Amino acid sequence: MPSLADPGALSAAEELAQFRATVLSRGRELYRDLPWRRTRDPYAIWISEVMLQQTQVARVDGRWQHWLELFPTVDALAAAGSADVLDEWQGLGYNRRALSLWRAAQEVSATGGHMPSDEAALRSLPGVGPATAAGIRAFAFDLPGVYLETNVRAVLLHELFPKEDAVSDASLVPIVRATCPKDAGNPEDDPRTWYYALLDYGAHLKATVLNPSRRSRSHARQSRFEGSHRQKRAEVLRILLAHRADPRGGVDLDTLSVELSRREVAAGRSEVDVSDAQALLAELSREGFCHNNGNIWCA
């Protein structure tokens, strides 16, 4: 941001007012009519927020609708089996998110089935961090909050920190808090509209200029998935889910090990031995993704 010691510089208040006007204008121009923007159901919005974490909009469009067909309410999600939830999540990455959604739904269902609007109550739920809580509050309840995610960072860095690198979130949070409208009195400039504008302008910037969010200190390249431990965990879970219809309800260790090795070799990677497969199963079991029923592993 320009130095206020420069006599020609805008005051901080003037600069933020100019910034807000720019964002709202670009937001109107670039608005994306996405399916989850046509609802104010906090449960449906919560699902979209979690699905959109590090996942492209095009991949979520369609999956979000199908999820709501299978689990239309928080109570329906809570009543579902974890394997059904994980099966539906396949292809969206980070299976922990699906398990957290399911566990959080059970907590909400146990207290009446209504998603809270209070920030502290939202953040107490499994898997709900500051950005997810702020997104639910803004898009479902039109309440202010600090919604700081990658597209929002891109706009802030592009407009207010054009020449700075390694900008910390600590520098951005006060700006996000100061620029978010405090109430929903003006439908053209309320928390919901404001954050949609930031998201759409940010998506545009990331598609048309060198991604400004790379200059954020919090920016980190996603680690390679193929061949990683995370990839093998995901493959084991897919095998377990594929064996749900087996008469035994699951798969024995030796069969799973052979299938996992076959898939790894087909992808040009090394074989996996039984001890490796057993270690992966034990790890997944500790986290609640699967369980052992005698000698049969089940999702």
- Residues with active-site annotation: 49
Q: What's the burial of 197, exposed, middle or buried (CB within 10 Å: 0-12/13-18/19+)? A: buried
Describe the strand order of the beta sheet including 251-252 as a list of residue ranges. Answer: 251-252, 296-298, 291-293
169-179 and 12-30 helices, crossing angle to 10°: 80
Q: Which residues pair with 72 in a beta bridge?
A: none
| Structure-derived torsion over alpha carbons of residues 250, 50, 118, 99, reported in degrees to the nearest 10 | 10
Alpha carbons 193 and 180: distance in angstroms, whole number: 10
Alpha carbons 107 and 94: distance in angstroms, whole number: 21
> Secondary structure of 227-278 in the HEC alphabet?
CCHHHHHHHHHHHHHHCCCCCCCCEEHHHHHHHHHHHHHHCCCCCCCHHHHH
Cα distances (angstroms) measured from residue 118 to each of 15, 70, 138, 145, 210: 31, 27, 11, 11, 37
